[in-house]
Homo-oligomer: A and B are copies of this chain.
Amino acid sequence: MIEPVTSDQPALYLQLNGSSDFVNDVCGIGNALVDVLSQESDEFVQAAGVPKGSMTLIDEERATALYAQMGAGIEISGGSAANTIVGVAALGATAQYIGKVRDDQLGAVFAHDIRATGVTYQIDSAATGPSTGCCLILITPDAQRTMNTFLGASVYLSPEDIDLVAIAASKILYLEGYLFDPPEAQEAFRAAAACAHDAGRLVAVTLSDSFCVERHREAFVDLLQNHSDLVFANEAEICSLFQTDSFDEAIAQVKQLNVTAAVTRSEKGSVVVHQDHVLEVAAAPVDDLVDTTGAGDLYAAGFLYGVSQGLDLATCGALGSVAAAEVISHLGARPVANLSELAKTVLAP
């Protein structure tokens, strides 16, 4: 299914550290959201006044107004890191998720769906405050997604919600950049990263969205330089981080930071930067491109699964390609096909 990764370099590895006593392969923290997807025209997106292809934060009033304008939808559990963690579990690794919902119907849907995939999810639902967060996603005929997020209960994720014991016992901690938007969650973010590093574990982050990078550029550079081992980004995000239009320039800049980077480039595949090495990874073929929601999330899932299993970085990237190709071939950001079967095309070609 996927072209074998060709490289004249020796196999590269991101070393797993810490003790061999672990409970989870990966523990993820993010904004817990339920996605509401509807297929809309480009004119609709334009009239809604939101930048096509990106994520815009909206308040409850705006969410209500936009939802009223949207066509009939389907509801599927989402949330960037949650999608990734579900992918990691679907690939066969042990995974835990930390994110906050309200004790309402959509919160119950979120909790059910993530647990149904075998992910450990034991955080208490909020009993008061705003309802479970949702992401109103407009899918245009070109399969592009434009996201409008009402964070709802997810912003009430606080340091007390963070299961430090679980984090210290996870090979990799994975954090979504969107967490930088609500200040309370940002605090939780830093506490979690410190805990993981204290236990000698790996810390991985995703930049999430180019506008998110713009909103928090300095914090992100500091985070990558001083607190992370692995960063995920797409072309727009890495260019936004370094305020450049040149991809090559962005890659040169990220080499200066003390972090391994996996940068996705849609149909051009991905580029993995590790120390002085730059590895190109092919995209996996997609028969029918339906909805690009979750492409980056599932790339990260495949990659993190590989790292957690001690695989080399080229194989990690190929696993990311396969998982991303699956999720963009149907509506929604959660895998539908059997990911561990698909992974075999990479692991035992």
Contacts and interface: CB of A to CB of B under 8 A. Distances in A.
B73 A113 contact: yes
| Size band of the interface chain A makes with B | 20 to 34
A173 interface: no
A131 B112 CA distance: 17
Contacts of A86: 72
A39 B336 contact: yes
Interface in A42-86: 67-68, 70-77, 86
A226 interface: no
Interface stretch (A9-17, A103-111, A239-247, A256-264): A103-111
Q: Interface SS of chain A: helix, strand, loop or mixed? A: mixed
B112 A67 contact: yes
A113 B336 CA distance: 24
A243 to B, nearest CB: 39
A68 B112 contact: yes
A253 interface: no
A105 B131 contact: yes
A336 B139 CA distance: 13
A348 interface: no
Interface of A: 38-39, 67-68, 70-77, 86, 104-106, 109, 112-114, 116-117, 131, 332, 334, 336
Contacts of A105: 104-106, 131
Nearest to A74: B76
A9 to B, nearest CB: 39
Number of copies of this chain in the oligomer? 2
A325 to B, nearest CB: 18
A328 to B, nearest CB: 16
User: Closest 3 A-B residue pairs measured CB to CB?
Assistant: A75-B75, A72-B113, A105-B105
Nearest to A71: B116
A114 to B, nearest CB: 8
Given A71-B117, A72-B117, A75-B76, 11 more contacts: A38-B116, A39-B336, A70-B112, A72-B112, A72-B114, A72-B334, A73-B109, A74-B74, A74-B75, A104-B105, A105-B106
Residue of A75, A76, A106, A131 with most partner-chain B CB within 10 A: A75
A119 to B, nearest CB: 10
A71 B73 CA distance: 21
12 contacts: A38-B116, A39-B336, A70-B116, A71-B117, A72-B77, A72-B114, A74-B74, A74-B75, A74-B76, A75-B76, A104-B104, A105-B106
